[in-house]
Chains A and B, each alone.
Chain A
Amino acid sequence: MKFKAFLTDNGINLLEKRILPALDKMGKICHLYFTRDHAFFLHNLLNADGVQSVAQFKQQSLFHDYRISSQNDDKIAFCIDLSLLHRALRSILAIYVESRDFNSSGLQIKLVKKLPPHSTQPMPFLTFEAKGHKSAVVQDVPISKPLSRADVQELQLALESAQEMPATLVRAPELNSLQNFVDRMKHVGEVMGVSISKCGDLHLQISTSLITLGAEFRRLMVLGERADRVVGDEGLSAQTRIERAVQRGDAMNVQVSVKHFFKSLQCSLARPDAAFYGIAPQGACLIVIFQFFVPGTRQTDKSISLHCRLPVLDPGSN
């Protein structure tokens, strides 16, 4: 089992400034999964509760001289502590950036087995190495034992089933203000109803025995299946409008945890250019897909993808 690559400048920037801060908020521990073509950061894929998040990168968008080999079809996966990874990367960058003028080889990342101090058992590490003009710096990030063939297979299957797309996606309102709003909303209750209509309405609501608090965002951009607005629903209240759309089959509704919803919004730390909300078929989960543009264009950057799946609290109600 071998893994070795050099981080590109773009890869360093993307990981350090955007992806790792965002993913760190999703949970401390994640699976890091490398294949011949891709690198994945996966949260909660093997357990049913909690927000699942999938960050996928074409290896070229992070690395150059990417070498991977394993007896399991060149796939390697392990668990890693993201805050340690982030810290190690930041610390090595401080040295690397100072010495990069003399540094032709770049910042190397590789999988190693080492004997830690006071131990007789060699342990696996993900190691960063920067060779400067006069010195070399190494940062070892402890990782779990690489996953067994069966576990990698399970992770791969979970990953494939997490790619299921909703029939309708609506473009989220401006993420910072949505995040701000949900942050305040979470003081009021714990369960949030999320409704998405094919005419581009997103409706969020917390309802308890003491209060109903909601927000309706209308005329959002729709991807996938769409429906025309019904004449005469303009004068209705937000609640009635979405209830009628659900009855007509033009909208779906799920209940999720407010905490999960807020957590997924923290992916905005990765500075996506847009986000889309959708509900998986049969209301299985709420999906939020973050979109990244190729820098300087309005075209989707297909080499990066990030999406979250929020577990539904009461699957029977829909």
Chain B
Amino acid sequence: MSSPAAVDTEAEGPDLVCELDSVQGIVDALTSVRWKRHQDAVVELSEHGIVIIVEETACLQAKVYLQRELFVKYEYGAHGRPRFGVSLGLFVDCLNTFSVPGRSNILELRYPGPDMQLLLRSVDCPDSCIYADIRTRIPETISWDYNFEPAGSTPISFTVKSAALKEAIDDLEWPGSSIQIKLQPAPPSVIFRGEGHGDLQIDFNCYANTDLLIAFCCDQPISHRYKYKFLRATTSNIPSSVIRDNRGSKLTIGRGGMLKVQHLVSVAKPSTPHPHIDSAGYQQPSRIAYIEFFVKPEVEEDIVNDY
């Protein structure tokens, strides 16, 4: 408490006080980037919302964007962009205890607490209160920068039904190890190919699979290989609501073969709107959390040979 930082915090009030009415939606969004049991996450706060960043061995990074529009209240009082580290698993498990099925409930998040904790509490019921404080850590620096740049003049991308993408990647588990993703303009198609214990090729043909392949943009043939386990992490925990809502996922291949996978997770409240929102006349323009994965391609063999 004697450190100058703590005094400053007390004098200026918390960096962030916000309230959520759809805990389950946030749990779903965060669960989609939880590909293993113990993961450290970096949380970044800004006036636009909260970004949660998870990464693995400089090959895979995931970001969950919780825009301020997802919150029924969002009071941001910090200068700059405060960041803190937290265990993702613990954060999700903790949030999950606040999600009461069949009941609308308001959760308040506050940062920092007196000891730099992240403080959570349910605020809508006078006779029962759930509260938590989660210890935060000084975040590790992000080990590599995911500057995603388009590969050419037009971005090379396609949008596929999330369920179909997940199914395709699940099926590729059998050949395993390394998966080639190939896009070609003529005939316009996307090919997933796995070679390992056996060969498996999954084709999404633009003309044949119009219901699955929603959008396609490619002006030159391109092909890169990705480690199966990283590819799998991008869809393995996709929330059931995404499949239920029949949403699409967008995949873009950038410079150097960097793959970007984007999902949209609905954080809409299933029940009737809370009076709190109505009275404030607050419109919910989008109740969507954005999830982005960045996967680095495998180093091509000819490059390896050069070294």
Contact = CB atoms under 8 A, between A and B. Distances in A.
Given A184-B97, A210-B134, A211-B133, A218 B128 contact: yes
A214 to B, nearest CB: 6
B128 A216 contact: yes
Contacts of B167: none
Contacts of A218: 126-129
A213 B128 contact: no
A71 B93 CA distance: 56
B134 to A, nearest CB: 5
A181 interface: yes
A238 interface: yes
A210 B100 contact: no
Given A181-B97, A210-B134, A188 B128 contact: no
A209 interface: yes
A interface residue count range (under 10 / 10 to 19 / 20 to 34 / 35 or more): 20 to 34
Interface string B70-101: 00000000000000000100100110110111
Contacts of A102: none
B123 interface: no
Contact of B100 (A181, A185, A213, A239): A181
Interface string B114-140: 000000000000111111111100000
A214 B130 contact: yes
A217 B134 contact: no
Interface in B13-58: none
A46 B237 CA distance: 45
B131 A238 contact: yes
Nearest to A181: B97
Interface string B121-164: 00000111111111100000000000000000000000000000
Contacts of A217: 127-128
B90 A181 contact: no
Interface string A204-223: 00000111111111110000
30 contacts: A173-B128, A177-B100, A180-B100, A181-B97, A181-B130, A184-B99, A185-B97, A188-B90, A188-B93, A210-B90, A210-B134, A210-B135, A211-B132, A211-B133, A211-B135, A213-B97, A213-B131, A213-B132, A214-B130, A214-B131, A215-B128, A215-B129, A215-B131, A216-B129, A217-B127, A217-B128, A218-B127, A238-B129, A238-B131, A239-B131
Given A188-B90, A210-B134, 15 more contacts: A177-B103, A180-B100, A184-B93, A184-B97, A184-B99, A187-B96, A188-B93, A209-B135, A211-B134, A213-B97, A215-B128, A215-B131, A217-B128, A218-B126, A237-B131
Interface of A: 173, 177, 180-181, 184-185, 187-188, 209-219, 237-239
